[in-house]
């Protein structure tokens, strides 16, 4: 997988220079020591970009004003729907002006004038339309680590966009104010695919990320934007729940350079009760992505008492090892009470560490802990010699030692899409 299908590599970094501002580094002398021997940090420009973007993501400062602000709870201005309305790609016409959606496993049968579960697709006279093509309700410049994608161009930025809508209803959703609304209920801008690619370039982002809400429901836009991006030398990645029918997955995510899947639990009951979805199709999507050779990372949000049992975690890790291989990165991330799940505490760090220990013991090579700034399990270590290869602080990749897709210390191949 090293190098992946990167036909348009970002600018070459300037090697051999330490970042100028490194207050946090002083707190980690061992890291500095290691660097002094074999250092290959990010160039100064990349570091500053990431640091600023990371700060913005943490709410400390903003890289720039968000291109589009999140809803401010005033009635959105009436929008001209026609600009955003494009016939959907994945559906079947039925008798009586009904349609059957073939985008996600829900397979909604939708009568005339009705919408599917996602709320962003509407049957108009027997034809099914997406109402969110180019209808961007959130756009930000984020570090790629925030997705999180740890084995994909570390230290780079992603021009990240979302439309309204989602095909599930997770009770812990952090972005429910855009994912669980209809498009007309949230302010949005018209940003056609070519403009997205142009904005990504303008902001120094080698990648467009489709994220925040659920990109499954804006697949048509994602596909067109990915095509426009590739023509302009910009990659595309998607952050998705993977709850998608196989044909749609192959068609839409086939255009992606990397995929991050939120595997929300390893039990059908959790998917039914907390997610309003199903586990089996998500597992099938992961296998399909594997067969497609698509670089994929998995995030597992650990919710106290609901999906953090030893046997469930062991089953998860074992399934990944058997079906996807031990090199697939697995991120255990910390839950914060949100939306409809405010009665549970933040995931204790020891719980995350226990999850990681279980997955490590099952033999997975790259198990990370997320949403815990400064935790050493945010770094990438060589599975063979155990040396640290990528150090991450917050959302920045502070150093990157991987060379030609391998550990510079022992030569062990490190899978991913790396910036050489």
Partner 1 sequence: MSAIRNGSRRDFLKKCLIGAAFLHADGGSAIRAAVEPGTAPAKSKVVIAHDAMLRGAGGTVDSRRMLNLLDQSMQALFDCDHALEAWKKLARPDETVGLKVNALGGRGLSSNLQLVEAICERLQEAGVKASGIVVWDRDSDELERAGFHVSMGGNRVQCFGTDRVDYEPELVTHGSVGSRLSRILTRRCNVLINVPVLKDHDGAGVSIALKNMYGVIHNPNKYHPNGCNPYIADLNMLPEIRARMRLTICDATMASYEGGPGYKPEYSWKNNALLISQDPVALDYTGWQIIERKRADRGLKTLEGDGRAPHYIATAADVQHRLGTNDPRKISAIAVQAGA
Based on the shown chain and the rule CB under 8 A, indicate whether residue 169 belongs to the binding site for partner 1: yes
Q: For residues 254 and 292, is the Cβ–Cβ distance under 8 A?
A: yes
Based on the shown chain and the rule CB under 8 A, indicate whether residue 251 belongs to the binding site for partner 1: no
Instruction: Pick the binder of partner 1 from 2, 85, 185, 194 (CB under 8 A).
Output: 185
Instruction: Pick the binder of partner 1 from 184, 189, 227, 327 (CB under 8 A).
Output: 184
- Residue with Cβ nearer partner 1 (118 or 136): 118
Q: For residues 97 and 111, is the Cβ–Cβ distance under 8 A?
A: yes
Token duo for residue 384: 């063979």
Give the closest residue to 365 by CA, choosing from 150, 218, 171: 150
- Side-chain-side CA neighbours of residue 92 (13 Å): 9
- Residue with Cβ nearer partner 1 (119 or 281): 119
Based on the shown chain and the rule CB under 8 A, indicate whether residue 182 belongs to the binding site for partner 1: yes
Based on the shown chain and the rule CB under 8 A, indicate whether residue 80 belongs to the binding site for partner 1: no
- Residue with Cβ nearer partner 1 (181 or 320): 181
Residues 315-344 that bind partner 1 (CB under 8 A): 339-340
Taking the C-alpha atoms of residue 1 and residue 7, their distance in angstroms, rounded to an integer, is: 13
Minimum distance from residue 6 beta carbon to partner 1 (Å): 39
Based on the shown chain and the rule CB under 8 A, indicate whether residue 112 belongs to the binding site for partner 1: yes
Taking the C-alpha atoms of residue 204 and residue 201, their distance in angstroms, rounded to an integer, is: 5
- Residue with Cβ nearer partner 1 (55 or 76): 76
Based on the shown chain and the rule CB under 8 A, indicate whether residue 291 belongs to the binding site for partner 1: no
Q: For residues 361 and 348, is the Cβ–Cβ distance under 8 A?
A: no
Binding residues for partner 1, how many (CB under 8 A)? 30
Minimum distance from residue 309 beta carbon to partner 1 (Å): 24
- Side-chain-side CA neighbours of residue 64 (13 Å): 14
Give the closest residue to 161 by CA, choosing from 110, 107, 201, 200: 200
- Residue with Cβ nearer partner 1 (276 or 388): 276
Minimum distance from residue 87 beta carbon to partner 1 (Å): 19
- Residue with Cβ nearer partner 1 (180 or 307): 180
Q: Is 114 left (phi over 0), alpha (psi -120 to 50) or beta?
A: beta
Taking the C-alpha atoms of residue 141 and residue 240, their distance in angstroms, rounded to an integer, is: 18
Contact range with partner 1 by CB under 8 A, out of 73-81, 197-205, 308-316, 351-359? 73-81
Contact range with partner 1 by CB under 8 A, out of 179-187, 234-242, 251-259, 358-366? 179-187
Based on the shown chain and the rule CB under 8 A, indicate whether residue 394 belongs to the binding site for partner 1: no
Based on the shown chain and the rule CB under 8 A, indicate whether residue 246 belongs to the binding site for partner 1: no
Instruction: Pick the binder of partner 1 from 54, 180, 211, 267 (CB under 8 A).
Output: 180
Based on the shown chain and the rule CB under 8 A, indicate whether residue 296 belongs to the binding site for partner 1: no
The 253-282 contact track toward partner 1, x by CB under 8 A, reads -----------------------x------
- Residue with Cβ nearer partner 1 (171 or 290): 171
Instruction: Pick the binder of partner 1 from 98, 201, 354, 387 (CB under 8 A).
Output: 98
In which residue are the tokens 């719980």 written? Answer: 351
**In degrees, to the nearest 5, what angle opens at C-alpha 217 toward C-alphas 124 and 251?**
100
Contact range with partner 1 by CB under 8 A, out of 67-75, 133-141, 194-202, 406-414? 67-75
Contact range with partner 1 by CB under 8 A, out of 116-124, 222-230, 292-300, 384-392? 116-124
Taking the C-alpha atoms of residue 108 and residue 209, their distance in angstroms, rounded to an integer, is: 27
Based on the shown chain and the rule CB under 8 A, indicate whether residue 82 belongs to the binding site for partner 1: no
Instruction: Pick the binder of partner 1 from 29, 65, 73, 82 (CB under 8 A).
Output: 73
Instruction: Pick the binder of partner 1 from 118, 132, 317, 407 (CB under 8 A).
Output: 118
Based on the shown chain and the rule CB under 8 A, indicate whether residue 306 belongs to the binding site for partner 1: no
- Residue with Cβ nearer partner 1 (116 or 206): 116
Taking the C-alpha atoms of residue 13 and residue 377, their distance in angstroms, rounded to an integer, is: 26
Residues at the site binding partner 1, with contacts judged by CB under 8 A: 73-76, 78, 96-98, 106, 108-109, 111-119, 169, 171, 180-182, 184-185, 276, 339-340
């Amino acid at each position: 997988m090293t190098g992946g299908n990167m036909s348009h590599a970002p600018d070459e970094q300037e090697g051999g220079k330490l970042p100028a501002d490194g207050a946090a580094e002083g707190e980690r002398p061992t890291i500095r020591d290691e660097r002094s021997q074999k250092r290959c940090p990010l160039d100064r420009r990349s570091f500053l970009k990431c640091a600023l973007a990371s700060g913005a993501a943490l709410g400390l400062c903003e890289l720039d004003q968000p291109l589009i602000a999140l809803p401010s709870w005033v009635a959105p201005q009436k929008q001209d729907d026609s600009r955003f309305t494009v016939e959907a790609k994945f559906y079947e016409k039925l008798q009586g002006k009904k349609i059957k959606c073939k985008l996600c496993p829900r397979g909604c049968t939708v009568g005339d004038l009705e919408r599917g579960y996602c709320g962003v697709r509407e049957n108009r006279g027997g034809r099914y339309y997406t109402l969110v093509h180019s209808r961007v309700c959130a756009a930000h410049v984020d570090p790629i680590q925030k997705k999180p994608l740890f084995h994909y161009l570390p230290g780079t930025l992603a021009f990240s966009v979302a439309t309204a809508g989602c095909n599930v209803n997770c009770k812990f959703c952090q972005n429910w104010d855009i994912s669980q609304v209809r498009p007309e209920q949230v302010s949005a801008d018209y940003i056609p695919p070519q403009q997205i690619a142009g904005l990504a370039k303008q902001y120094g982002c080698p990648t467009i990320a489709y994220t925040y809400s659920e990109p499954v429901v804006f697949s048509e836009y994602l596909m067109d934007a990915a095509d426009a991006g590739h023509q302009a030398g910009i990659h595309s990645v998607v952050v998705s729940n993977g709850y998608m029918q196989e044909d749609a997955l192959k068609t839409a995510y086939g255009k992606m350079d990397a995929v991050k899947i939120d595997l929300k639990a390893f039990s059908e009951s959790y998917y039914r009760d907390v997610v309003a979805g199903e586990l089996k199709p998500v597992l099938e999507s992961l296998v399909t992505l594997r067969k497609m050779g698509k670089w994929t990372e998995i995030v597992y949000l650990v919710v106290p008492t609901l999906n953090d049992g030893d046997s469930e975690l062991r089953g998860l890790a074992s399934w990944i090892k058997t079906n996807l291989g031990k090199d697939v990165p697995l991120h255990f991330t910390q839950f914060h009470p949100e939306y409809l799940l405010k009665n549970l505490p933040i995931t204790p760090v020891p719980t995350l560490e226990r999850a990681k220990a279980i997955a490590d013991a099952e033999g997975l090579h790259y198990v990370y802990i997320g949403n815990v700034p400064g935790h050493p399990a945010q770094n990438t270590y060589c599975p063979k010699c155990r040396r640290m290869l990528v150090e991450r602080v917050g959302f920045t990749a502070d150093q990157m030692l991987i060379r030609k897709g391998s550990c510079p210390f022992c030569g062990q191949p490190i899978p991913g899409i790396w910036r050489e």
